[in-house]
Every structure is written in structure tokens, then in C-alpha cells.
Amino acid sequence: MRISDVLRSKSSALVTLSPDATVRDLVDLLAEHNIGAVIVGDDANPVAGIVSERDVVRGLVSGTTILESLVADIMTTTVKTAAPSDSVDDLMRIMTEHRIRHVPVVVDGQLKGIVSIGDVVKSRIGELEFERDQLESYVHTQ
């Protein structure tokens, strides 16, 4: 299965945030859309970074003043990306090796989607259910 297959099963809406937004804005956005991470970017650099709930929690260790900081101060700037033609198996490997839960999908420098670990698990379960159904069908016709 390819990442493009996973993206087809998701909403095409992308939630992004400017690097000069505050962490408070980020928290509001995460809650509003019930998501765990946001791609940070602007017209000049659509994938300047990624910021997640984990980043916020790590910042809260120093106190709530982090909420007035800029997203650019806490975001990850070295972002692992994927292409729609990449395999889900390869993406699982990247997520596991780098301990990341969200990977932006990029085509020609433009953000086309984001795949979460939940999306990957859902696609894998779908594949396993299909295989099980095929095997059951085969066994019952013999």
C-alpha cells in the first residue's frame, strides 16, 4: 500500500500554522481540530517545521509562560517527509526509527497532506482484514 492510498481515505483539509503564532494559538488549534500535530510554514517555506502536543508539554515543564512564546521557538525544524508514492511499510520504518508520529507528505516542495501513526495503523488493520477475508473465502470454497 502507498501513502497516496492512505491520503485518499482522509479528509483533504490541511491544518497549518505560521511560525510567528503563539503556543497558545497552537494549543487552541490542536483542540479545535482534535489533532496531535501541526505543520508550521508560510508561503516561502510551506514545511518550515512541525510542532506537536509533545513539544508543548516539554515546554510546560518550565512553566506556563511558554504559552506566550512563538511556535518557532518550540517546533522541530528538521522534518522527515514522505512522497505519495512511498510505501506505508517504509513510512512505518521511518516513524519507528525516528520516534515520530506525524509525517508531512510533500510533492515538489508543496504540502499535500500529513499522515499520522493512527492513519498507518488503520491502513494496516484494513490490509490484515482483507487478507483474513480472502483466506476465509478460500478455505470455505475448498
pLDDT string in tens for the chain (142-residue length): 899 999 998 877 899 999 999 999 999 999 999 999 999 999 889 999 999 999 999 999 989 999 999 999 999 999 999 999 999 999 999 999 999 999 999 999 899 999 999 999 988 888 788 788 888 888 877 6
Is 56:23 a contact under the CB 8 Å cutoff? yes
Strand 37-40 to strand 16-17: parallel, antiparallel, or no bridges (unpaired)? parallel
Which amino acid is residue 142, in one-letter code?
A: Q
Domain ranges, residue 18: 3-141
- Domain total of the chain: 1
Task: Take residue 126 and report the three cell numbers written for it.
Answer: 484494513
Is 15:41 a contact under the CB 8 Å cutoff? no
CATH number at residue 117: 3.10.580.10
Is 69:58 a contact under the CB 8 Å cutoff? no
Mean per-residue pLDDT of the chain: 92
- Percentage of the chain lying above the pLDDT 90 cut: 75
Name the β-bridge partners of 51: 38
Q: Give the DSSP letter string of 87-123.
A: BHHHHHHHHHHHT-SEEEEEETTEEEEEEEHHHHHHH
- Give the DSSP H/E element, type plus range, for residue 51: strand 49-52
Global pTM value:
0.85
Tell me the helices (H) and strands (E) count for the chain, helix number first. Answer: 6, 5
